[in-house]
Amino acid sequence: MNREDLIGELKNIVGDRFVLVEKEDVIVYEQDGSIFQVMPEIVVLPGDVEQVSAVVKLAKQAAVPIVPRGSGTGLAGGAVPAEGGIVLSLARLNRILKIDLENRIAIVEPGVINLDVTKAVAKDGFFYAPDPSSQAACSIGGNVANNSGGPHTLAYGVTTNHVLGVEAVLDDGVIVWLGGEVPDTPGYDLCGVFVGSEGTLGVVTKVAVKLMQTRESVRTLLAIFDEMDNATQTVVDITAAGIIPAALEMMDRTTIEAIERGAPVGFPRDAEAVLIVEIEGLTEHTDRSASLARAICQRNGAREVKLAADEAERQRLWKGRKGAFGAMGTLAPNYYVQDGVVPRSKLPEMMRRIAAISKQFNLRIANVFHAGDGNLHPNILFDMRAPGELDRVIEAGAATLRACIELGGSITGEHGVGLEKKAYIGLLFNEADLEAMARVRRVFDPDNRFNPAKLFPTPASCGEIRLQPAQIPAGLWI
């Protein structure tokens, strides 16, 4: 099937206005939140699952790749059409189809924005727990693809802990449900296989998610430190004391500078690090745990520990944390965010290694991360226009990931592998492991058409995969 015939058939399925082929239309789909940039050939925006199925069948007939895309906030190149084909935007599948508060579930389409799920049930005292910092923009489908987390992962877990089932379109266009509306459906956990598969197994078109009841009490502390080692050791000591905060977030001096330049919230610019400790639950539990967490912070040399006096002050602290990545544009034209993980006990050592990497490559690195579960987000600040600087940035990112592995960690906690980290996945898994994963993929995607060139290593390095130089906007999402 030639290109013109393919385009004509796609227009018959979804309508003329929902098939984009002109450069001025498809250019907005050439990049996600990563440093990778590839101009799409065709962008299709189906309006329902039947249209998704028809597009997938046609793509199989034409032997062209399918690249599912949500809101485009991903940070690993997962939505970049590395091998051409059809970018399948699910933005129009944006309905909340069912809310069942009695059973604490909702059925949503993949284009629904994460925060909109909580908004839909907040008045009834419920919320959707996974909360990436981009939750006001990222889609549920993208969260499912990357098994996204967020600041409250420590207490509530990541996306897979809150997805009961998915409706998916398979390689041949067949529509199936994996899992369901109740926990622990019998048989293999194929829903669990799909969550985190980064669009390589099929296209998710509906998601059954858990809803949680709003907690009775919330206590939010801001601890201010003059030494990074003291701040990271505090994280270790809080969890070692048996306290499981809802969130345990850290920002370093460079990140504080960015926030206070961009949208100030009152973080002290002279602090080496600040730690947000949030505890939820029954009032008796939150009061006791907040008091104990405060004592641990003080014992580790915190200059000051503040308790948010009310909801407005709590929201101000979180505005600073969740706006940190967008604020990086106040320090440099571009930034490259990493997503490594280390055991909590290794946080002090890892932060020292990041400081050494910053010095080695002569690059400024701002750290803002989910300290409670050891999920690091070093932001390497740079200028894309400076000759050779992007290559140094990629090398510094690789050094960071290797350091995470050496300390017993992983190359990703929530952003996924995508294009960005596939060159390094072999550092975590041997060939037998990778072949086992590839065999699972071939069961669902025998022709390797769903999101090709993602997840699995190829001879190309990370730098070689960057098919076109990316011009990265200053304010990206995480």
How would DSSP label each residue in 358-392? Answer: HHHHT-EEEEEEBGGGTB--EEEEE-TTSTTHHHH
pLDDT at 459 (0 to 100): 56
Q: Check whether 471 has a pLDDT greater than 60.
A: no
pTM: 0.92
- pLDDT tens-digit series, residues 40-49: 999 999 999 9
pLDDT at 183 (0 to 100): 87
Strand segments, DSSP code E, in 406-458 are none
- pLDDT tens-digit series, residues 121-142: 999 999 999 999 899 999 999 9
Give the whole-number percent of the chain exceeding pLDDT 70.
96
Report which of 445, 452, 446, 373 is spatially closest to residue 414, judged by C-alpha positions.
Answer: 373
pLDDT at 185 (0 to 100): 85
Tell me which residue has tokens 């799909």: 194
Across the chain, mean pLDDT equals 93
pLDDT level of residue 61 (50, 70, 90 thresholds): very high
Tell me which residue has tokens 């907690």: 215
Q: Which residues contact 387 (CB under 8 A, 6 or more apart)?
A: none
Q: Domains in the chain, start-ordered, CATH in brackets?
A: 96-213 (3.30.465.10), 217-327 (3.30.70.2190)
Q: Are 288 and 266 in contact (CB under 8 A)?
A: no
What would the two tokens of residue 358 be? 């910053």
Q: Check whether 469 has a pLDDT greater than 70.
A: no
Strand segments, DSSP code E, in 145-259 are 163-169, 175-179, 203-210, 212-213, 217-225, 247-252
Q: Are 477 and 33 in contact (CB under 8 A)?
A: yes
Residue 147 burial (C-beta neighbours within 10 Å; 0-12, 13-18, 19+): buried
pLDDT at 460 (0 to 100): 46
pLDDT at 132 (0 to 100): 93
Q: Could you give the count of Cα atoms lying within 13 Å of 270 in the half-sphere of its Cβ?
A: 2
Reduced DSSP (H G I as helix, E B as strand, rest coil) percent helix, strand, coil of the chain, to 5: 40, 20, 40
Residue with more model confidence, 201 or 427:
201
**Average pLDDT of span 260-288:** 96
**Average pLDDT of span 443-468:** 74
Give the whole-number percent of the chain exceeding pLDDT 90.
92
Q: Check whether 462 has a pLDDT greater than 90.
A: no
